[in-house]
Structure 1
Amino acid sequence: MKTPDKITESLFNKSIEFLNKPVKEILIGGVLAGIFVSLAAITSVTVCSDMSSYFGNGFTKLIFGVVFTLGLTLIVLSGSELFTGSNLHIVSIYKDKRSIKKVFRNWMLIYLSNFIGAIILTFLVFKAGVLNDVSIQKYIINITKSKLNLTMTEAFTRGILCNFLVCLAVRVGEASEEVSGKIMGYIYVIGAFVINSFEHSIANMFFIPTGILVGSRNGIYFSWKAFFVGNLLPVTIGNIIGGGIFVGIVYYIMHSKYFNTKSASNKLRNIKGDRYENF
């Protein structure tokens, strides 16, 4: 396995490469990542929808967390683009302010394409009849209700804690060169954020719209404004802080002295005629 400083160096190199990713690659990878997270979400719901009455809430959350690991596994092994994971790339801004426009542009493209992917999967799940099961409907509605009942402070804080763990899971996965090692690392760390009901902005792009639509079929009406303003906005800001600052920047500060950051800049093509020699 890689040492912690080598993990940081590898992720730093990926942050620099992130600046030069083609828009088409980002958009396609973002849509796929939104679909993968949503697949993990609906699979977890299907598995756990009637489990708590037999095994209790604690064990049900444990299984939900293990199954939800499917999302990150598919994303990392397929090379897709997930907004929360890309928050680690904030280190390029920390190192050189000239990258700020590029990072935020790519973030916005990934965020939008993740949302499109989540909505596509929501549509397909409805058309496939997966949500016709009454226990699944009730489970989705309860998840939506619990998320929309959070205060903005709770949503923001849970967003920080969620992406702190998600980006730590990325670091854990980066430590191993073996697929089995990566997956084992994801299970424990991703499981922790799911078990504790922390808030993931991209997962919520599937859970809450699906819950709103299922609820309306059952005479329960949730507010789209509550989704966008009361949940998605504070959760997204929290995710950026939890992953970008508490993981990305903190570990870069800890370990950058152990590797040569100039080697990463040599991989860059010209960005508007300006090469990032100062990284």
Structure 2
Amino acid sequence: MSYIKPAEVLDAMIDTGAAKANAGTLQMLVRGFLGGAILAFATTLAFTATSQTSLGLAGALVFPAGFVIIVLLGLELVTGSFALLPLAVHARRTSVSRMLSHFIWVIAGHLIGCAAYALLYGLVITKMFTDMSNPLIQMIIQLSETKTIGYKHMGYEGMMLVVIKAILCNWMVTLGIVMAMTSKSTGAKIIAMWLPIVIFFAQGFEHAVVNMFVIPAGMLFGAHVSLSDWWVWNQIPVLVGNFIGGAVFTGMMLYLSHSSPKNQAADVKAQLKSEPAAVEAIVAKGSGL
């Protein structure tokens, strides 16, 4: 049978997280570039579907196509890694420094990939920046401003709102990553991962990589958004919320759900055992022994 049981999926999550953390720098950068660009392709596809049908759900139904391509080709989405790499660190399959290095290089790749697609797409949709009449241009500008100065005008409540929407978003996005691991069949993987991605996109939650395209593209088209508006009122809080959604609500919760009680007890025992050893080492070093 092609179905993979949840306990085996948990092992696959840890294995995948370790492999991602220990990949080469160039691989992480290139995979991040492709992941960002492909997700930007899917975003404009969703905007096109929404514009043509006047139904937001139409865009949500087609958006997962980009996510599927990324997962099946083994490319990178830092939002997916937010669920997998902390588990690999917990299982001592990689280090915190390797995890953080992975996040940084993949995010850098996303930013370059999204910027490249934004420029190329901008040249097409504006007919080499000679025609700004396409309704998608105004849609992107408005969305860019809503995702930044819209929260800014709300102040503290806006900051809390964007973080909460980012948590809810990546709870579903990382479930899409996990659902792809529940089957050995390509067709079943596609269907399984499609479901959570539709749920997130249809409800307008905040995804860091999507925003790495939408906001700069809006700025390119003339949105009244500054770099500080982008990073302070969207990109940084969305990354924080996405990390919480992936690491806590998917990674940790699935670990607590499906890791055997024996393994969980062993983890606690190992931590308790390591703490006195660390204290003794510090004392010995300080005393010159």
State the TM-score, normalizing by the size of structure 1. 0.84
Alignment of 1:1-279 (within 5 A): 1-52=3-54, 60-88=55-83, 89-96=85-92, 99-129=95-125, 132-148=132-148, 149-150=150-151, 151-214=158-221, 216=222, 220-257=223-260
Q: Return structure 1 stretches of 4+ with deviation > 6 angstroms.
A: 258-261
Question: Higher RCO, 1 or 2 (CA under 8 Å, sep at least 6)?
Answer: 1
Q: SS in structure 2 opposite 1:49? A: helix
- Does the C-alpha gap of structure 1 residues 141 and 20 become closer, same or farther in structure 2, counting only changes over 3 Å? same
Q: Distance in 2 between the 1:246 and 1:165 partners?
A: 9
- Which amino acid letter does the alignment assign opposite residue 207 of structure 2? H
Q: Distance in 2 between the 1:174 and 1:146 partners?
A: 35
Shift of 1:50: 4.2
Question: Can you give the 5+ residue segments of structure 2 that lack an aligned partner in the other structure?
Answer: 152-157, 265-289
Q: Distance in 2 between the 1:93 and 1:5 partners?
A: 18
Shift of 1:51: 2.5
Aligned length: 250
Larger radius of gyration: 2
- Which amino acid letter does the alignment assign opposite residue 69 of structure 2? L
Q: SS in structure 2 opposite 1:80? A: coil
Q: Distance in 2 between the 1:180 and 1:221 partners?
A: 43
Q: Distance in 2 between the 1:154 and 1:160 partners?
A: 10
User: What CA deviation, in whole Å up to 9, does each residue of 1:182-231 have, x standing for no partner?
Assistant: 221222210111111100001000011111221x2xxx522221111101
- Which amino acid letter does the alignment assign opposite residue 139 of structure 1? M
Q: Distance in 1 between the 2:209 and 2:89 partners?
A: 23
State the TM-score, normalizing by the size of structure 2. 0.81
- Does the C-alpha gap of structure 1 residues 259 and 2 become closer, same or farther in structure 2, counting only changes over 3 Å? farther
Contact preservation (8 Å) 2:18, 2:94: no
Contact preservation (8 Å) 1:156, 1:235: yes
User: What is the root-mean-square deviation of aligned Cα atoms in Å?
Assistant: 2.0
Contact preservation (8 Å) 1:5, 1:258: no
